[in-house]
């Protein structure tokens, strides 16, 4: 993640939310990394590594003599990553550096695999970042981008028409109001086309429906509630006060409308991985 969101309306991206997010999807993320088919000895770039939550999992796949370099532009997240992995048994395979995405401090043709996770939504110039990844990947190396798509956000048993109003209002807000830093809630659906247009070979795209069922851990509750609050804050200028209050009541544990403890609770969202060969 390139930087913390400094907008009051989009305060979703902070360390606590990132940790809950990761814990909520840890098993699915392990499956995703399995699909990368990394080999022992591979040199991997974790571009936009944030707090290093994917970095250690990538290192597990390239041991005993591979290497994973994580770069990010946010010092607070890098500091957390360094401290958090101090006692990791694979720490010797991991390196962290501060850098932006457009001009990385690496020579050309050195990485076997580049992972760009949950970052395209914040990028102003997609193709400039892609060209930098292509430059630093080895010939025949692979580049993977993982992102979500906000078009799918199912919370049952909330009235689907209320959900549609919330999602539509958030989309309208993002379209009509300039958010700093840039944020695109519908990035996942774009990645396959971006990779094809950028000239990658053997482009593949896989969609993962991330579902959560009752009973929920506290981390999952925090993650879902954080998403729900972000949506209603983003969309509030285009919503009625009744819609805002009703939506929030479903995620308030003190409300009789709270849904996260219900036996029939169901949550689903969409994550997408696109991989191309240089």
Give the pLDDT confidence score for residue 2 in this predicted structure.
40
Given a cut of 80, whether residue 6 has pLDDT beyond it is: no
Give the tens place of pLDDT for each residue, 162-174. Answer: 999 999 999 999 9
pLDDT digits over 45-74, tens only?
Answer: 999 999 999 999 999 999 999 999 999 999
Which pLDDT value is given to residue 181? 64
CA distance 208 to 117: 14
Please report the pLDDT score of residue 144 as a whole number: 98
Supply the pLDDT for residue 15: 87
**pLDDT 10s digits, 151-162:** 999 999 999 999
Structural contact between residues 13 and 77, judged by C-beta atoms closer than 8 angstroms: no
Res 11 pLDDT > 70 = no
> What confidence category does residue 180 fall into, taking pLDDT thresholds of 50, 70 and 90?
low
Sign of CA dihedral 13, 15, 20, 25: positive
pLDDT over threshold 80, residue 4: no
Mind listing the pLDDT tens digit for each residue in 195-250? Answer: 999 999 999 999 999 999 999 999 999 999 999 999 999 999 999 999 999 999 99
Higher per-residue confidence, 7 vs 97: 97
DSSP three-state, residue 160: helix
Whether 252 has a pLDDT exceeding 70, the answer reads: yes
Among candidate residues 262, 270, 269, the one with its CA nearest the CA of residue 154: 269
For 174, the 3-state DSSP assignment is helix
pLDDT score of 5? 39
Region 97-107: what's the mean pLDDT? 94
Q: What is the dihedral of CA 156, 160, 162, 164, to 10 degrees?
A: 120
172/1: higher pLDDT: 172
Residue 12 has pLDDT above 60, yes or no: no
Give me the pLDDT at residue 218, please.
96
Confidence of residue 176 (pLDDT cuts 50, 70, 90): confident
Residues listed for the chain: 278
**Residues 6 or more apart from 207 whose CB is under 8 A from it?**
188, 270, 271, 272
With 0-12 CB in 10 A as exposed, 13-18 as middle and 19+ as buried, what is 39? exposed
CATH superfamily for domain 15-277: Vaccinia Virus protein VP39 (3.40.50.150)
Over the stretch 22-42, which tens digit does the pLDDT of each residue have?
Answer: 999 999 999 999 999 999 999
Q: Which pLDDT belongs to residue 177? A: 75
- Residue ranges covered by each domain of the chain: 15-277
Cα separation, 43 vs 113, whole angstroms = 7
Per DSSP, helices labelled H in 42-154 are 55-62, 75-84, 126-136
Across the range 109-113, mean pLDDT stands at 98
Residue-level pLDDT at 182: 74
Q: What is the pLDDT of residue 14?
A: 79
Quote the pLDDT of residue 179: 63
Q: What pLDDT does residue 17 have?
A: 87
Q: What pLDDT, on a 0 to 100 scale, did the predictor assign at position 178?
A: 63
Q: Sign (positive/negative) of CA torsion 49, 100, 96, 82?
A: negative
């Amino acid at each position: 993640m390139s930087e913390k969101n400094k907008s009051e309306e989009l305060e979703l991206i902070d360390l606590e939310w990132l940790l809950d997010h990761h814990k909520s999807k840890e098993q699915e993320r392990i499956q995703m990394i399995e699909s990368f088919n990394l080999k022992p000895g591979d040199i991997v770039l974790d571009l936009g590594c944030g707090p290093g939550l994917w970095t250690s999992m990538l290192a597990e796949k390239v041991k005993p003599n591979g290497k994973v370099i994580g770069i990010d532009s946010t010092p607070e997240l890098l500091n957390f990553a360094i401290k958090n992995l101090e006692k990791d048994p694979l720490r010797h395979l991991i390196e962290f550096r501060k850098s932006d995405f457009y001009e990385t401090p690496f020579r050309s043709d050195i990485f076997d695999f580049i992972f760009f996770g949950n970052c395209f939504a914040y990028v102003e110039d997609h193709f400039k970042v892609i060209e930098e990844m292509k430059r630093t990947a080895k010939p025949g190396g692979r580049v993977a981008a993982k992102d979500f798509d906000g078009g799918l956000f199912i919370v049952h048993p909330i009235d689907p028409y209320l959900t549609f109003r919330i999602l539509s209002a958030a989309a309208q807000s993002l379209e009509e109001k300039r958010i700093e830093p840039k944020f695109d809630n519908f990035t996942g659906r774009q990645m396959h086309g971006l990779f094809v247009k950028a000239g990658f070979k053997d482009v593949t795209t896989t969609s993962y429906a991330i579902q959560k069922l009752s009973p929920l851990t506290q981390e999952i509750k925090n993650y879902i509630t954080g998403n729900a609050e972000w949506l209603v804050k983003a969309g509030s200028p285009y919503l009625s006060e009744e819609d805002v209050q009703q939506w929030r009541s479903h995620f308030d544990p003190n409300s009789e409308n709270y849904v996260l403890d219900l036996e029939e609770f169901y949550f689903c969202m969409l994550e997408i991985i696109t991989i191309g060969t240089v």
